[in-house]
């Protein structure tokens, strides 16, 4: 079933094709300031989230072929490198991946591609991670099906994404996201519209249990999740059946 995010862009209703073009345009425009904006928007907390996420993901798999989907500027891929693994970054934004390549060089491989059509063969990956990227796809369900397809039997899927905060925190979080973040986007990145979109996409993203249900419906086993910072973000975990 297609999720409501597939036909929205911010507060507007659009076709999936239009959404894909608009989202890709955003990331191409903000690529140079993307990491700085993440630091400012989360007050650096995203680094702690990602550290925990990468540690869990790396410990889950003893395999050697890791993919970071929607890998952007390469911060997750860099954390997964250990000198033995083959780490592949896949992202539809060439501008974002160019930053990753400048940082990591030949330590990683780089493929242009979207989550809805991953450019890899069936049953070829030991671990697939995606960090703050699945909500920017045009079709979450199709993306999950593609992730399931490319994982080896027994392979692991780890997803880090914004989620639904605990009720007591929501008024404060809403105020921060509606008032502060777009102004930071205008001041630092020069694109307030981009960060207005990002906030609206967070609000429309499935809550923890709904997302876990979508992962389970795809065919994954051992589906679980854990909240970070009282539900502002969430780590989803799953495994492809043997």
Domain boundaries, the chain: 4-239
Residue of 144, 77, 84, 142 lying closest to 109 (CA atoms): 77
CB 194 within 8 A of CB 30: yes
Structure-token pair, residue 87: 């780490």
Average pLDDT of the segment spanning 105-113:
97
Residue 185 has pLDDT above 80, yes or no: no
In the 8-state DSSP scheme, what is residue 114?
Answer: B
Return the pLDDT at 19.
74
Instruction: Find where tokens 């809805």 sit.
Output: 116
Please report the pLDDT score of residue 141 as a whole number. Answer: 96
pLDDT of 29 > 90? The answer is: no
Confidence of residue 233 (pLDDT cuts 50, 70, 90): very high
Structure confidence at residue 201 (pLDDT)? 84
Share of the chain above pLDDT 70, in %: 91
Confidence of residue 14 (pLDDT cuts 50, 70, 90): low
Task: Centre a 10 Å sphere on the Cβ of residue 16 and count the other Cβ atoms it contains.
Answer: 16
**CA 241 from centre of chain:** 23
Task: Using pLDDT thresholds of 50, 70 and 90, give the confidence band for residue 189.
Answer: low
Amino acid 52: pLDDT: 98
Check residue 6 and give its pLDDT: 62
Strand, helix or coil at 157? Answer: strand
CATH fold label, 4-239: Rossmann fold (3.40.50)
User: Among the residues of the chain, which ranges form H helices?
Assistant: 16-30, 34-42, 45-60, 75-80, 94-104, 140-150, 170-175, 181-184, 192-204, 208-218
Beta sheet of 65-69, edge-to-edge order: 109-112, 86-91, 65-69, 125-131, 151-162, 233-239, 221-228
Average pLDDT over all residues of the chain: 89
Nearest one of 223, 231, 55, 59 to 144, comparing CA atoms? 223
């Amino acid at each position: 079933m297609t999720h409501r995010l597939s036909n929205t862009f911010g507060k507007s209703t659009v076709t999936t094709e239009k959404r894909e073009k608009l989202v890709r345009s955003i990331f191409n425009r903000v690529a140079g300031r993307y990491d700085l904006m993440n630091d400012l928007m989360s007050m650096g907390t995203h680094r702690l989230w990602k550290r925990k996420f990468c540690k869990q993901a790396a410990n889950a798999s003893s395999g050697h072929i890791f993919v970071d989907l929607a890998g952007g500027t390469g911060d997750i891929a860099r954390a997964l490198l250990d000198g033995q693994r083959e780490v592949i970054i896949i992202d539809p934004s060439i501008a974002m991946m160019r930053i990753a390549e400048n940082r990591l060089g030949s330590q990683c491989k780089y493929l242009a591609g979207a989550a809805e059509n991953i450019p890899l063969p069936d049953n070829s990956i030991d671990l697939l991670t995606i960090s703050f990227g699945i909500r920017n796809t045009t079709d979450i369900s199709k993306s999950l099906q593609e992730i399931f397809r490319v994982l080896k039997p027994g392979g692991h899927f780890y997803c880090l994404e914004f989620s639904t905060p605990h009720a007591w925190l929501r008024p404060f979080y809403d105020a921060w996201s509606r008032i502060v973040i777009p102004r930071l986007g205008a001041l630092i990145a020069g694109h307030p519209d981009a960060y207005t979109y990002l906030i609206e996409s967070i609000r429309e993203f499935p809550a923890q249990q709904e997302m876990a249900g979508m992962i389970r419906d795809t065919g994954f086993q051992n589906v679980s999740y854990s909240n970070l910072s009282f539900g502002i973000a969430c780590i989803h975990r799953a495994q492809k059946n043997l």
